[in-house]
Amino acid sequence: MTALSMARSTALLWAPQAWVGGRWRERVLLTIGDSGHWAGVAPDTPAPEGAEVLPGPALPGLVDAHSHAFQRAFVGLAERRDSAHDDFWSWRDRMYGVALRITPEQLRDVAAHLYTELLAGGYTQVCEFHYLQHAEDGARYADPAAMSHALADAAADAGIGLTLLPVLYERAGFAQPALRADQRRFATTAADVLALQGAVRRPLINAGVAVHSLRAARPESIRALAEASDGPLHIHVAEQTAEVDDCRAATGLRPIEWLAQHTPMDARWQLVHATHSTPAEIDAVAARGAGVVICPATEANLGDGLADLPGWLAAGVPLSVGSDSQVVRGWPEELRWFEYGQRLALRQRNVAAKPGEEPATAARLFERVRGGGGTAAGFARWGFEPGARADLLLLDRQDAALRGLPMSHALDGLVFAAPARPFSRVMVAGRWRALHDERIAARFEATMQALWPTA
């Protein structure tokens, strides 16, 4: 029995505390409608007869706004240094090794295991930045959406929501009109991406589009895709200083600056990483209403640098968080690294807090990525509010790191006290999901042994 076939939970849930409207509220009655969305959210309500009484506080699930599922098969295999120089670009070349050999069946096994891990880590929706499209030799599959269906099957196996983002990928760099041989599985045109956007229609799956990066797509193709598509549009931008330098050499502008001047960037757009920005670029993004997806653990692992978190927060730009290369697969640790990176750089504490208005660091970060993540995934509503999908995380107050903390500091403890297993149950669209499936785990292990027989 897959996670999606599990029986729907009761129509009424009652939580002793729940995160509603940006704060903890007491005695919250949550009503699940037939569509798997919240039909009602009522704080300060006694538990009615027939309601499922939750044994702990409830949080909304969050969106993982940037994922490359296949890279889960590479986690832990790039942490050795074999030459005098090691950086993002050498990591990328090694990562292509798995990109060139993984099959659709293996991708399903890897992604299903990852998506189960993401559920356990507090994500109930994942945005899959999907550029692995073709067969190992670069030829198109008989069904061009074969790899997309593998991801959709994996999401169904795990029971997580999925936003598929097929990627426009045309060239190897600003001065390289074609792809490299080791990028042959990524090749797409704007027309290909638009066809893939509508190729997978299933429950709990929606779709937007993506552009790999400015260096990987022609300006006219980016504009054509933006004008023809609906839903969210994601793009890697300004992740590496070398990318910024190359963009300036090729166009005379920095990457975010170029987007602001040469594209119809608006609230649909999600700038992934945006690690290297200027105050003027932040203001331009804020004026257009676009969002930014930050992936702190991956950006640390790859040596990208630190995003200007204080600048993005001060400008009111919508923010979300992503697992990206999958070195971390839970949002509490990502939010911790949001803040800790800034503390190390600035030698200050509680950098993300806003004294007098939003003094709690964890609460401010959680609220920003809750709302920003919903938008990044293509949802008008996200969280405990009528009309939003009925997703829920049951916080385990019996975890050793959370015991004894006052309820007012539970979110602080969740992010900064590092509970081992903070969520005891997870709900997606009104159904409780399994946080471990031994069959999925066994298939993942077998696939890893096939991919890396001599590693």
Active-site residue list:
273, 324
CA 95 to chain centre: 19
Which is nearest to 371 in space by CA: 396, 386, 388, 356?
A: 388
If phi over 0 gives left and psi between -120 and 50 gives alpha, with beta otherwise, what is residue 30?
Answer: beta
In order of 48, 114, 200, 206, 342, the CA distances from 229 in angstroms are 46, 28, 15, 13, 36
- Cβ(318)–Cβ(359) under 8 Å? no
